[in-house]
């Protein structure tokens, strides 16, 4: 993957990985079911903020937008450990990273969460990852 370089400007932020996941609840499931499955048992160990929203005209569609204060390399390593490519596709194999015990713990927690979430969402989902370039207050 080529290095990610944000343009130099006054509104530039530090490197933040933005994760966007769009999921569809299974028939008979609701947001409360999703939230119970989605909440992690423990945090990531780095600053992470997540916004969750429900589609206005379809309450079965849930989007989560996460902002994680990690490098692209850390993000890619975590994704690889849970069997997801940088472009969001699922992979059959999972990478191992024995040098980073913390990352391995986070990956194991994410796999447990995914298992719980899979019980309340449809199998198809959209998963994309970005590097934040700016943040603007347009009040």
Say which CATH class 17-129 falls into.
alpha beta
pLDDT tens-digit profile of 55-75?
999 999 999 999 999 888 888
Q: Looking at residue 107, what is its pLDDT?
A: 83
Q: Looking at residue 1, what is its pLDDT?
A: 45
Query: Would the CA dihedral through 23, 26, 27, 32 be positive or negative?
Result: negative
Q: Return the SS3 of 40.
A: coil
Domain definitions of the chain by residue range: 17-129
pTM of the model: 0.81
CB 115 within 8 A of CB 3: no
pLDDT tens-digit profile of 8-61?
544 445 689 999 999 999 999 999 999 999 999 888 888 999 999 999 999 999
CA distance 18 to 38: 17
Count Cβ atoms within 10 A of the Cβ of residue 81 and give its class: 0-12 exposed, 13-18 middle, 19 or more buried: buried
CA distance 126 to 137: 27
Question: Two tokens at 1?
Answer: 């993957």
129: closest CA among 23, 19, 21?
Answer: 19
Residues sharing a CB contact under 8 Å with residue 139, sequence separation 6 or more, in sequence order: none
């Amino acid at each position: 993957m080529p290095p990610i370089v944000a343009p130099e400007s006054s509104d530039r932020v530090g490197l933040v990985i933005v994760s966007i996941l769009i999921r569809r609840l299974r028939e008979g499931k609701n947001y409360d079911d999703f939230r119970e499955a989605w909440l992690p048992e423990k945090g990531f160990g780095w600053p992470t903020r997540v916004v969750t929203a429900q589609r206005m005209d379809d309450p079965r569609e849930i989007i989560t937008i996460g902002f994680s204060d990690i490098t692209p390399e850390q993000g890619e390593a975590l994704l690889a450990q849970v069997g997801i490519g940088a472009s969001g596709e699922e992979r059959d194999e999972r990478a191992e990273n024995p040098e980073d015990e913390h990352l391995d713990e986070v990956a194991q927690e994410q796999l447990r969460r995914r298992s719980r979430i899979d019980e309340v969402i449809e199998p198809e989902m959209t998963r994309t990852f970005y590097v934040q370039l700016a943040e603007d207050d347009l009040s």
